[in-house]
Amino acid sequence: MRRDLDIKSLLSKEEAKLITDLKKLADRWKMHGKRLWLFSASGSLKVMIDDEVATGFPEMKSNGGVNPDNIITQISGIRNDGGDW
């Protein structure tokens, strides 16, 4: 991967602030969101809950896929990709 250019220098102040805010959210998530996790699918982020005792739904389906019964909400408007490198 070519790194002759400092990629961060291309960010606007607002883009840099969005990244800072996302990092702050991650810190809060560690403290208060223990049962919550994000799932990226079909171009949107799903907020999932992992608490089979409370919901009655297992985190994963018997075929190994994520259980859609555990979706709390969908967050649109943030580009994302659930793929691997």
DSSP state of 55: H
For the chain, percent of residues with pLDDT exceeding 70:
92
Q: Beta-carbon neighbour count of residue 1 at 10 Å? A: 2
Q: pLDDT band at 49, cuts 50/70/90?
A: very high
pLDDT 10s digits, 59-77: 888 887 888 999 999 999 9
Q: pLDDT band at 7, cuts 50/70/90?
A: confident
Residue 40 within any structural domain of the chain: yes
**What is the C-alpha to C-alpha distance for residues 38 and 29, in angstroms, rounded to an integer?**
11
pLDDT given for residue 1 in this prediction: 54
Tokens encoding 36: 């919550």
**SS3 label, residue 75:** strand
The range of the structural domain enclosing residue 71 comes to 34-79
pTM of the model: 0.76
For the segment 17-33, the average pLDDT, to the nearest whole number, is 95
**What is the C-alpha to C-alpha distance for residues 18 and 83, in angstroms, rounded to an integer?**
22
Residue 27 within any structural domain of the chain: no
Residue 84 within any structural domain of the chain: no
How many separate domains does the chain show?
A: 1
